[in-house]
Amino acid sequence: AQSVAQPEDQVNVAEGNPLTVKCTYSVSGNPYLFWYVQYPNRGLQFLLKYITGDNLVKGSYGFEAEFNKSQTSFHLKKPSALVSDSALYFCAVRDMMKSTFGDGTTLTVKP
Amino acid sequence: GAGVSQSPSNKVTEKGKDVELRCDPISGHTALYWYRQSLGQGLEFLIYFQGNSAPDKSGLPSDRFSAERTGGSVSTLTIQRTQQEDSAVYLCASSLPGYQETQYFGPGTRLLVL
């Protein structure tokens, strides 16, 4: 069975500082990994995904994520956080057609 | 183009009543998914459709929950004899076929069972 862990319920950073939102996964086959962001009272918006190839994946809004097979991690990063990045972030792993989501990490960026 | 749409956006019902939630996927997306998001929780997989068939119904929490999809497009999630623990946001997503395809989510239906 596949699983995803987001070890931090909350991440706080100051605007302009780099941010990292952590994700580790467990899957029996090849990992297909996704990051989504959810703003209040909205659905999930796709940020980026890792399927194969380069371990550093670049996505929307300046976000990127690094796939690390040995550590089974897929941490989300951004070099310089914006107040508007404050939202709920979900990591997901795909096995066949079923996606398993982490519990989410609330990112708060303070001015 | 248009994204995934869901209706109603909010639904308040009394315990024991039946409710129907509707999802309109992105045109051309043959795969459709239903998830449930309870307050402060992650997403719980409910069911997945490929075309009109549902190969994986493993996530439906009880036999009070059912879903159908007609014409390879619109899907309806029905909850019979609603209970208070059914209160949640029900999210629909659609994608092209394939394991690496991105799921695109609708805004959700917020269900409150009194």
> Do A100 and B106 count as a contact with CB atoms less than 8 A apart?
no
pLDDT in tens, A1-37: 789 999 999 999 999 999 999 999 998 888 899 999 9
**Spatial CA neighbour of B36 closest among B87, B101, B94:** B87
Rounded to whole angstroms, the Cα distance separating B3 from B97 reads 17
Question: What pLDDT digit, counting tens, does each position of B76-87 carry?
Answer: 999 999 999 999
* Cβ contact B107–A102 (<8 Å): no
For chain B, the distance separating the N- and C-terminal CA atoms, rounded to the nearest angstrom, is 37
By the CB < 8 Å criterion, does B56 face chain A?
A: yes
Please tell me which of the candidates A90, A97, A101 has its beta carbon nearest to residue B99: A97
Between B62 and A98, the more confident residue is B62
Chain B residue numbers touching A97 (CB-CB < 8 A): 31, 48, 50, 55-56, 99
Task: Report the b/e string of B56-90 with b at 16+ CB within 10 A.
Answer: beebbeeeebebebeebbebebebeebeeebbbbb
Phi, psi torsion values for B18, nearest 5 degrees: -95, 145
* β-strand partners of A46: A36
Interface test with A, best of B49, B58, B90, B100 (most A CBs within 10 A): B100
CB contact under 8 A, B100 and A96: no
d(CA A70, CA A77): 19
DSSP letter for B100, please. T
Contact B93, B29 (CB under 8 A): no
Give the pLDDT score at B55: 83
Q: What would the pLDDT profile of B48-61 be if each residue is shown by its tens digit?
A: 999 999 988 888 99
SS3 of residue B84 by DSSP: helix
Q: Give A38-95 pLDDT, tens digit per residue.
A: 998 788 999 999 998 889 999 999 999 999 999 999 999 999 999 999 999 999 998 7
Partners of residue A43 in chain B, C-beta under 8 Å? 4, 91, 105-108
Give DSSP secondary structure letters for B34-76. EEEE-TT--EEEEEEEETTEEEE-TT--STTEEEEE-TTS-EE
